[in-house]
Amino acid sequence: MFIKLQDGVKKYGQGDAQVYAMDKVRLDIDKGEICVILGPSGSGKSTLLNMLGGIDSMDSGVLLVDGRKVSGFSLKELTEYRRTDVGFVFQFYNLIQDLTVIENIQVVSDIAPNPLPIDSVLDSLGLRTLVHRFPTELSGGQQQRTAIARAIIKNPKLLLCDELTGALDSRASKEVLQYIEKVNETLGMTILIITHNAAISKIADRVIQIRDGKVVSNEKNNAKVRAEDLVL
């Protein structure tokens, strides 16, 4: 298993106000899979993503990623983990507004030990003509493609996408999902997409359903479709 999470627990608050954002979560994900984590708002999807990405730490449980015990990492090791092994794509892109498309990508390529060739990333995501534009000059879809380029330029083992189509219309969403598929096929990256939109789960190799901090199902998707065929 590429990702193995055993009894992951994350609590917030104390006493009667205590809430379990993750309640003994267990999951296994294979290398190279596109995995969709499905759940309503407040189900703990983002918390799970934060743990997998090394942004936050669990209160208890064991997380293994590519054989390494991420849950036992120090802060310094977590920084290195995010620097080299993990790429993030967020719902609202989180691009640096004072930098152009290419500069936002360079923010990551500059510190990555083995970055992908920037030209090929730009071409594969259709960003060549947009390189000198600032985020405010781009559409939502273009910004999200920039965010994807920034995330994959370091050639991470794991790409985490938090509601990556949440701010996009259906056409742009489909376009972005097609790029995600392409990235998975060409680079063999393991991709996790968290969403509340069940329609997106059809492109996944594995669908994990989460509710109230618990995993309610973890199934392989035997009826996988191409992103271009999705109805959103």
Partner 1 sequence: MSFYICASLLTAISVLFVITMYTSVEAIDTTFREIMTVGNVEDAEFSTLMPIPDVEQKALESEYDLDLERISYTDIEEDGYNLRVFPVTEKLNRVQIVSGSGITSPDEILLNPDFAKAHGVVPGDTFTVNGTRYTVSGTAVRPDYIYAQKNPSDFYVDDSGFGQITMSKEAFLKFRNVQSFYAVDFHGDNSVEFRKDINKTYTTLRYLPGEANNRIDVCRDLGKEYGLMLAALLPIVFGMNTLIVAVVLGRKIRREQRQIGTLLAFGYRTSEITRHYMWYAMIPGIVGSVAGVAVSVILNKPLIALVATDYESVNFIVRPHWPSLILCLLLPTLSYIVTTVIGVRRLVRKSITVLLAGTSAEAKKRGKILSASKISFRQKFRIRSLLSHKSRTIVVVLGLFFSSFLCSIGFVFADSWKSIITDGLDAAGTYEYRYYMNTLSTEASDGEKVLTASFEAGDENSLFTLEGLVEHPEYLTLKTKSGDAVEYGGYYMTTNAAELFGIKAGDSFTFINLITADSYTITIDDIILDNTQCTVYTSLNEAADLLGLPEGSYNLLLSDQELDLDKSLILEERTKDEIKEQLEFGVELLMSMIYLIIAAGVILCVVTVYLTVNMLIEENRANISMLKVLGYKTNEINRMLLNTNHVLVPICLAAGIITCLGLTAVIFRSFVDVFNLYIEPSVSVLSICIIGAIQIAGYYFSLTLLKRKAHRVDMVESLKDNRE
Q: How far is the CB of 23 from partner 1 (least distance, A)?
A: 18
Q: Which of 26, 31, 132, 226 binds partner 1 (CB under 8 A)?
A: 132
Q: Does 28 bind partner 1 (CB under 8 A)?
A: no
Looking only at residues 40 through 59 of this chain, which bind partner 1 when binding is defined by CB under 8 A? 41, 46, 50, 53, 55-56
Buried b (16+ CB within 10 A) or exposed e, 72-90: ebeeeebeebbeebbbbbb
Report the half-sphere exposure of 156 (CA within 13 A, side-chain side): 28
Q: How far is the CB of 107 from partner 1 (least distance, A)?
A: 6
Q: Does 134 bind partner 1 (CB under 8 A)?
A: yes
Q: How far is the CB of 198 from partner 1 (least distance, A)?
A: 16
Rg of the chain taking only CA atoms, in angstroms: 17
Q: Does 97 bind partner 1 (CB under 8 A)?
A: yes
Q: Which of 20, 33, 88, 145 binds partner 1 (CB under 8 A)?
A: 88
DSSP conformation letters of 109-164: HTT-SSPPPHHHHHHHTT-GGGTT--GGGS-HHHHHHHHHHHHHTT--SEEEEEST
Q: How far is the CB of 55 from partner 1 (least distance, A)?
A: 5
Residues in CB range of 209: below 8 A, 6 or more apart:
37, 38, 39, 215, 216, 217, 218
Q: For binding to partner 1 (CB under 8 A), which residues are involved?
A: 41, 46, 50, 53, 55-56, 79-84, 86, 88, 90-92, 94, 96-100, 103, 106-108, 110-111, 132-134, 136, 150, 162-163, 166-167
